[in-house]
Structure 1
Amino acid sequence: MPKVKMFDKNIVLNKAIQLFWLKGYFNTSMQDLVDYLEINRASIYDTYGNKRELFLLAFKNYINSNNKSLVEFLEKENSTKLGLLNLLQLPIEASFCENGNKGCFAVNTATEMLPKDDEIRDILRDNRLELESIFYSHLKRGFDNGELSSDKDIQELASFLYTLLNGILVIAKVNPDKRYLINILKTGLTVLD
């Protein structure tokens, strides 16, 4: 009779995301995973593979979930400019929440694992392209409804917004001053005027 898994694979995967996000890849041991996920080592290997395979699965799951949430958030916003302001304020607010300033999992992974890890670089490159596409779609809506000037290069703006978002995520860890970060954000978004 085959063994029946006594845990929910998605719940455990989400817990793995939280652990890797908090500690990083290299600072997370298999024993950390066993303790935090509350499943035995054999179950981790059997279900997810080795530590690297679990990390990649967790990281890709985080990116997919994050990007889906971003699309859903922007689709609910009537104003392009206000929608972007509201969206880009979220990571600033998150920097001051109860969970502390753990930053963005993608940015943390980039700073920890690049430039030596080609697979991570490819995942992050694809994520950049997807985020720029999401920003592009939102900006195009503003262009089409007349909120943005027709002299704007939407692709350049989408790339800029990706850079602005990542810059804010990094600076929030270095200088967690809410007013400073909001001022950077508002100044950056003047490119939409």
Structure 2
Amino acid sequence: MKQSGHPKQSAKQAGDACVRGRPREFDTDTVLTSASQVFWNHGYHATSIDDLCKATGLLRGSLYGVFGDKHGIMLAALDHYAEGSVARLAERLNAPVSPEEALRNALLHYARVACGLSGERSCFITNTTLEMQPGDEELRTRVAAIQRRMATLLAASVIRGQTSGAFNSTLDEKAVGDFLLCVMQGLRVLGRVAHKEDALSAIVDVAMRALV
């Protein structure tokens, strides 16, 4: 994904900049939700500015004025999508059930979702990571930050399970958090071709047994 020479903005910064310049004529969150769906469905390279204009209902000038270019729109859309994705993971892991049940349910959720998707539409974060071009340091940094947040949530879930006695107390929670993140991402990728929930659920069973 080619980078421009212009500094990119987060979704919030983009919205704030728009407000400082002239009265905002659109809702930034709504626009980014629409943009993320286009990138999610077609990928970065196959998505044109015309596709984004059609999906968001905005003219090129409006999109460029707030986000800079297509790469900037994609980064802002990824940030927007990631906020919701991370929040939903945190909610599942902190559900009012035992730590092991919460973790298992969270992983099973990704298995079910992966089986329910078709074609290229796996996960926006996963798809973007796989499509990332060498040298796109800005995107790499963004994706790495998202992955760190998810791995940290998973590590905290492991600690809760260790405290309750459900998980092996000698396990390194950071390493296990990274392992579980790999399981989550693997379920999403495998689900693109293996649409059998019981097969993916069996992978979750193996992952959970590795923690005891």
Q: Normalized against structure 1, the TM-score is what?
A: 0.90
Unpaired runs of 5+ residues, structure 1, are: none
Aligned to 1:55: 74
- Contiguous gaps of at least 5 residues in structure 2: 1-20
- 1:45-81 deviation line (CA, Å, top 9, x unaligned): 1222211111111111211221122112211142222
How far off is 1:6 after superposition? 3.2
1:73 partner amino acid: R
How far, CA to CA, are the matches of 2:108 and 2:80 in structure 1? 23
In the alignment, which of 62, 86, 101 is matched to residue 82 of structure 1? 101
The structure 2 residue matched to 1:108, chosen from 122, 127, 130, is 127
Are the aligned partners of 2:118 and 2:192 in contact in 1 as well (CA < 8 Å)? no
Using a 3 Å threshold, how does the CA distance of structure 1 residues 44 and 59 change in structure 2: closer, same or farther? same
- 1:37 maps to a residue whose letter is T
SS of the residue 1:95 aligns to: helix
**Structure-1 residue corresponding to 2:172:** 153
Deviation at 1:128, TM superposition (A): 2.0
Deviations 1:151-181 (A, max 9, x none): 2222221111011111111111132221211
One of 141, 160, 182 as aligned partner of 1:163? 182
Q: Pick from 117, 120, 123 the counterpart of residue 142 of structure 2.
A: 123
Alignment check: 8 A CA contact 1:16 1:33 kept: yes
Counterpart CA distance in 2 for 1:108 and 1:21 is 7
Contact 2:31 2:56 in 1 (8 A): yes
Partner residue of 2:86 out of 61, 67, 70 = 67
Helix, strand or coil at the partner of 2:169:
coil
1:21-53 Cα offsets, whole Å, 9 max, x none, are: 111111110000111111111111122221111
Name the structure 2 match of 1:176.
Answer: 195
Cα root mean square deviation, aligned: 1.8
- The TM-score normalised by the length of structure 2 is 0.83
